[in-house]
Amino acid sequence: SQTIHQWPATLVQPVGSPLSLECTVEGTSNPNLYWYRQAAGRGLQLLFYSVGIGQISSEVPQNLSASRPQDRQFILSSKKLLLSDSGFYLCAWRRTGGDYGYTFGSGTRLTVV
Amino acid sequence: DAKTTQPPSMDCAEGRAANLPCNHSTISGNEYVYWYRQIHSQGPQYIIHGLKNNETNEMASLIITEDRKSSTLILPHATLRDTAVYYCIVRAISGSARQLTFGSGTQLTVLP
């Protein structure tokens, strides 16, 4: 069966520090991968998605970046965090093509102080 | 993707059926209706999806009107653990990889 792992679960980082959140998927190949962010009391905002290794599409210009070094690994990064980067970050995957649903990870709650 | 409209909140008594409506009057013929829910501080969870026929699985039933302009998610016997934000989303089966846009959803509160 397919599983998605996302870590860490919670993170407190000072302003200006770097960030690296990792997401891995098991039990499938060539998935579409996604990073979403949910600010407190707000809806889900798509940040990045990837349809293959090294292929990243950005939805929102910001100081975050994403990379996909391996087929089932998706990384969200920042060189210098801002207070506004605080939120609930969710990784998701979906099978390529068809009417398959999305499977989300358990999320990382990031607080920038 | 077509826009959806959902009530911001609903209450339901434990053990009763919860009926969550969604309007998607601009839905296209190739767009599916998906339902997800998000329990507080967790990632969204897929519930069910359909095109034009009613669908049922172990979690819920999905009723889509004949003109496909609205749908209802039914939780037949709501429990306290069903308290969550429920999102109705329409998406084309042939849509690009990016297309899963969440609206504000309906906060369902199941009352004891």
Over residues A60-100, the pLDDT tens digits come to: 767 899 999 999 999 999 999 999 999 999 999 987 766 67
Neighbours of A73 (CB within 10 A): 15
The shortest CB-CB distance from B98 to any of A57, A96, A104 is to A57
Q: How does B22-54 read in b/e, with b if 16+ C-beta sit within 10 Å? A: bbbeebeeebbbbbbbbeeeebbbbbbbbeeee
pLDDT value for A20: 96
Gap between the Cα atoms of B9 and B12, Å rounded: 10
Average pLDDT across chain A, whole number: 90
- DSSP structure string for A18-30: -EEEEEEEES-SS
Q: What is the pLDDT of residues B25-73, one digit of tens each?
A: 999 888 889 999 999 888 899 999 999 989 999 999 999 999 999 999 9
With cut-offs at 50, 70 and 90, classify the pLDDT of residue B3. confident
B-chain residue closest to A55, CA distance: B97
- Subunit contact A107:B43, Cβ cutoff 8 A: yes
B-chain residue closest to A39, CA distance: B41
